[in-house]
Amino acid sequence: MSETSEQYKDIPALAGDRRPWVVTAIAALFGLAAIAAVVGGLLLDVRPAVLPVGGTIGPLETALAGLVIAGLCLLVAWGLWRRRNWARTGVLLLLGLGTLYYWLTILFSVSAQIFGGEQVSPWGEIGAAVGMGLLRAIAVGLVPGAIIYALVRYEPAFEDNPGQRTFIDHAVRYLLLATALSAILIVFLIIAFTVSESWEAIREVGVDTMLLGTVWRPGSIIGTEDAQFGLVPMIVGSILSTFGAVVLGVPLSVSAAILLAEVAPPLVRETVRPAIELLAGIPSVVYGLFGMVVLAPLIRKIQVPYNSGFGLLNASIVLAVMIIPTITNIAEDAIRAVPRSYKEGSLALGTTHWQTIRDVILPAGRSGIVAAIILGIGRALGETMALIMVIGNSIAIPKPLTDNPLTLFLSSARTLTGNIAVEINYAAGAHRSALFFTGVLLFIMIMLVNTLARGFMRRRTPA
């Protein structure tokens, strides 16, 4: 065995039982580092400083730290010398993460130089900054990079026994279960923290006062004792704006869904469907900006007193445009999921395409379409920033501006989501707690909506 190993000692893959000289060199390097750590710990003159977690650093602590680091380095050196896998993985991780961290700090400082200024940096400066950054990156990465390269190349030289593999297998199993539970852990944390933060409001103000009170006047703004935390104006605002969005958006999106699924030629479908998926990802602030800059002046043209252009109508239009992609996508999938045999049977009986759609396909796909609409409602209820920009944010319950009840939609309002976002940054005490209660309320409402939608999705006709 040793003769063949002699022959192939320079080929990493066949190194087998031999220890490559490179690995010995790296082990020796760590040994040297151990010595350096001990010496440095003893000799380094660190001014006594206070740690953020309490306690001070003095000469004793540095010496101790040096000894600990030396011990670790010796351990790693021994592990490498004996070609243990844990040593190799440990060194790779340590050096890799350390180099990445340094490269990140270099990136931070270079971008600060290029982008942080008040005037445009001349190209020469930009080039100099980038060049210096690259040089530093290479300098920092040279030695660790060489070590990493050597360890990766000489991987077969490190032992690989079955006992070690099964240990890793079992350890991994439990670690992965923990990550799988992370989502439910986050849900639990969300519920725990929002409820605990809202407890002060529940205790002092009372759930009934908040849910049924019609005046929202947080004392912290006025500075008086009589703060009132009634959420009814916001609940009405949320419901009305969602209602408006549904009235405007659902006919348009369901029509588009039917069109795309049944009527439109393939070419139209190929272009429009990806376009709608793209539009679903546009940031909501863009729509809010449009509502502020274009829709508000337009709406102001309606001659009604106190019409500012910002209000429920503006919000309904903006929301409707935002939920169209959501509803269209899901409804179209639902319509496509109706079995072809239904459609073919109906057509075979002599009905027109429209009769088939109206009397056969739509009833069959009804639960999927309803699920799509409910999901759109959920999206509308959860929308925050775009609505803040266009809805006016008044604290009063929306009322029609004139005798015409339709002018209700011209009045200003505020939604539950907007309430949270507008006031959270400066709220304190019971006010802040009441805002968290708003969040809990919102959470419950949207959970109910989503569960309803899921129930409808499950009742779909099986394909």
Partner 1 sequence: MERAKSRISSSNLLRRKVGQGIAFGLFWLAAAVAVAALLFIIGYVVVQGSQVINLAFLTTRPAGGVSGEGGMSTTIVTTIYLVVLVIAIATPLGVLAAVYMVEYASEAERESALARWLIRIARSGVEILAGVPSIIFGLFGFALFVSFMKLKFSLLSAGLSGACLVLPVIIRTSEEALKAVPRSYREGSLALGATKWQTVVQVVLPTAAPGIVTGIVLSVGRVIAETAIFWVTLGGSYRLPTGLLSSGRTMALHVYMLASETRAFDKAMGTAAILIVTIIVINLLINITSRQLAQRVMGKQ
Q: How far is the CB of 366 from partner 1 (least distance, A)?
A: 17
399 is a site residue for partner 1 (CB under 8 A): no
Site pattern 255..294 for partner 1 (x: CB under 8 A): xx-xxx--x--------x-xxxxxx-xxxxxxxxxx-xxx
Residue placing its CB nearer to partner 1 in the complex, 156 or 400: 156
Range in contact with partner 1 (rule: CB under 8 A) among 9-17, 37-45, 146-154, 163-171: 163-171
Quick one: CA dihedral 143, 145, 146, 152, positive or negative? positive
252 is a site residue for partner 1 (CB under 8 A): yes
Q: How far is the CB of 286 from partner 1 (least distance, A)?
A: 5
Q: How far is the CB of 89 from partner 1 (least distance, A)?
A: 12
Q: How far is the CB of 256 from partner 1 (least distance, A)?
A: 4
Site pattern 34..73 for partner 1 (x: CB under 8 A): ----------------------------------------
**Positions 400 through 429 that interact with partner 1 (CB under 8 A):** 417, 420-421, 424-425
182 is a site residue for partner 1 (CB under 8 A): yes
Q: How far is the CB of 165 from partner 1 (least distance, A)?
A: 5
Buried b (16+ CB within 10 A) or exposed e, 340-363: eebbeebeeeebeeeebbeebbbe
Q: Are the CB atoms for 214 and 208 separated by under 8 Å?
A: no
Q: Are the CB atoms for 148 and 92 separated by under 8 Å?
A: yes
**Positions 91 through 120 that interact with partner 1 (CB under 8 A):** 108, 111-112, 114-120
Cβ atoms within 10 Å, residue 328:
29
Residue placing its CB nearer to partner 1 in the complex, 30 or 310: 310
- Write the CB contacts of 340 (distance below 8 Å, at least 6 apart in sequence): none
**Positions 338 through 397 that interact with partner 1 (CB under 8 A):** 349-355, 358, 378, 381-385, 388-389
| CA-to-CA separations, 12 to 17, 156, 158, 246, in angstroms, rounded | 11, 7, 11, 67
Residue placing its CB nearer to partner 1 in the complex, 137 or 424: 424
Identify residue 336 by its one-letter amino acid code.
Answer: R
By CB under 8 A, the count of residues binding partner 1 is: 97
179 is a site residue for partner 1 (CB under 8 A): yes
**DSSP one-letter code for 408:** G
Cβ atoms within 10 Å, residue 419:
26
Interior CA angle at 273 toward 272 and 277, to 5°? 115
Q: How far is the CB of 329 from partner 1 (least distance, A)?
A: 12
218 is a site residue for partner 1 (CB under 8 A): no
CA 450 – CA 461 distance, rounded (Å): 20
CA 277 – CA 18 distance, rounded (Å): 58
